[in-house]
Structure 1
């Protein structure tokens, strides 16, 4: 059996970081099936879903990682467990300028992933969105 592929009997475990916002937009922040966790893209928002750190790329990036850290901790994980990180940004030069910040997040190894420049994100104030896939190596 493939240890990274969930079996038919494993029930998804859903987690909402901001339940009201997630319900309004129609998504769950994370879903765990077996030893895999899929984490929706985090953006720089407050608890009501409004954009924060408008115009400040680095602070938006830090806010994304802060939310992702909360989701990981809910499952007893850390950034060491992340196997895929996909970054979506409306400003690739700004991301590249601040990509070194990721060295403070991923201190043991970097995950696989893609960096994509996009025309827009959910709200025009959002400059970056980061989604993760996690492999839980402990139970």
Structure 2
């Protein structure tokens, strides 16, 4: 099975400099998306765009909008479409943000019907993150559509 990695990055170069520290303290080599055969796995998407700029500080809906746009772009770069999304996991810091985040997700993924799990968590990787979306997709075999 062929494995392709898209948008490789080093965390120390991607994330903004932490207050009072010359560089980010974590030095991992990661990919934004990995395609293994016909499966696509995405890195959790948040308010960070694909260049490392943060959008929607203090606004879970704006972060969700950015995350959904990134999901679409990454899926397409890996050779799929949003219709190939099978599983979506949504992480929220605040239960009350469900009413803000889920309508944004519904707008971006109308008529896709993925399986979805929503979790309320005590924290995410960076303090400005209020939500995160994790996505797995399977590119359909055109012979079996």
C-alpha RMSD of matched pairs (Å): 2.4
Other-structure match for 2:20: none
Task: Identify which of 73, 98, 103 aligns with 1:95.
Answer: 98
Runs of 4+, deviation exceeding 4 Å: 17-20, 22-25
Q: Report how many aligned residue pairs link the two structures.
A: 130
- Normalised by the length of structure 2, the TM-score is 0.77
Task: Identify which of 92, 109, 112 aligns with 2:112.
Answer: 109
Other-structure match for 1:14: 5
Other-structure match for 2:82: 79
Change (3 A) 1:48 1:66: closer
1:136 matches 2:127: no
- Structure 1 stretches of 5 or more lacking a match? 1-9
- Structure 2 stretches of 5 or more lacking a match? 16-25
Report which stretch shifted further, 43-52 or 121-130: 43-52
Deviations 1:69-106 (A, max 9, x none): 11011023221110000111111211234312222222
Question: What is the CA–CA distance in structure 2 between the aligned matches of 1:74 and 1:17, rounded to whole Å?
Answer: 13
Other-structure match for 1:34: 37
Question: What is the CA–CA distance in structure 1 between the aligned matches of 2:8 and 2:89, rounded to whole Å?
Answer: 19
What displacement does 1:42 show? 0.7
What displacement does 1:61 show? 0.5
Question: What is the CA–CA distance in structure 1 between the aligned matches of 2:49 and 2:71, rounded to whole Å?
Answer: 14
- Whether the 8 Å CA contact 1:17–1:71 is kept in 2: the answer is no
What displacement does 1:138 show? 4.6
